[in-house]
Copies of this chain bind each other. A is one copy, B any other.
Amino acid sequence: MPFSFSFLPKEIQFFDLFDRQAEMLVATARCFKKVISNASLDDEHLKEMRDLEHDTDEVTHEIMERLNRTFITPFDREDIHTLANEVDNIVDILYTTTKRMKVYKLNKANPELIQFADVIKESIEYLARALNLLRDHKKNNKRIQDCCIEVNRLENAGDQLRDMVIGRLFDSTKNTLMVIKWKEIFESAETALDICEDVANIIGTILVKQG
């Protein structure tokens, strides 16, 4: 079999799978925003989150399988492995956050958590664009880097938001159990932004190695 035949299609398959992960990411961020804004923790809305988590798992699994069976990969094998895993982790933590809110019966919309959901959605949209642009990474190098810079900026914003919100929580909440519950939810939201930054950093590493 000629080299170019087996080589090119496989490269393309990886980029198709990155696109699918990007799509899942954006859908999850939107669903998360909706659940948080309406504090709609009934089974129907959580099921939508669970389905997204499940579908992302399948795409991630497909990337891993392909990685283990493919000899030539578009980027370093381990970078693809870490990238796919961390994208999956973003979806996981957003789903886990909504599940935990249900366990805690936190079914009243919280304006500060809505703020977090907005920052997360914005960060994820930049990441998804960066993932889409990977297909032509040579041509898109500058645009991908710009996306990654935005993700880093939003992680810093999230850091400050968390500090402010947690400080306020301890100062103003009378009910200690509520402090424990909300502290966990806010930290979980901020961790989602940390993982977005991790993904941006892996993409940055991939660009440097390809450069």
Instruction: Tell me the A residues contacting B by CB distance below 8 Å.
Output: 64-65, 68-69, 99-100, 103-105, 163, 166-167, 170, 176-177, 179-181, 183, 205, 208-209
Copies of this protein chain in the complex: 3
In the complex the two chains form, is B65's CB within 8 Å of A208's CB? yes
Interface secondary structure of A, over-half rule: helix
Q: A205-B68, A208-B68, A209-B68 are in contact. Are A170 and B163 (CB under 8 A)?
A: no
Q: How far is the CA of A176 from the CA of B173 in the complex (A)?
A: 13
Please determine whether B103 and A163 come into contact, CB atoms closer than 8 angstroms: yes
Cα-based distance from A200 to B208 in the complex (angstroms):
29
Report the minimum CB–CB distance from A130 to chain B (whole Å).
Answer: 18
Contacts A68-B205, A205-B64, A208-B69; is A103 near B167 (CB within 8 Å)? yes
Chain B residues within 8 Å of A69, by CB? 208
Asked whether A177 lies within 8 Å of B177 as measured between CB atoms, the reply is no
Q: How far is the CA of A177 from the CA of B166 in the complex (A)?
A: 12
With contacts A65-B208, A103-B163, A208-B65 taken as known, whether A170 is within 8 angstroms of B176 at the C-beta atoms is no
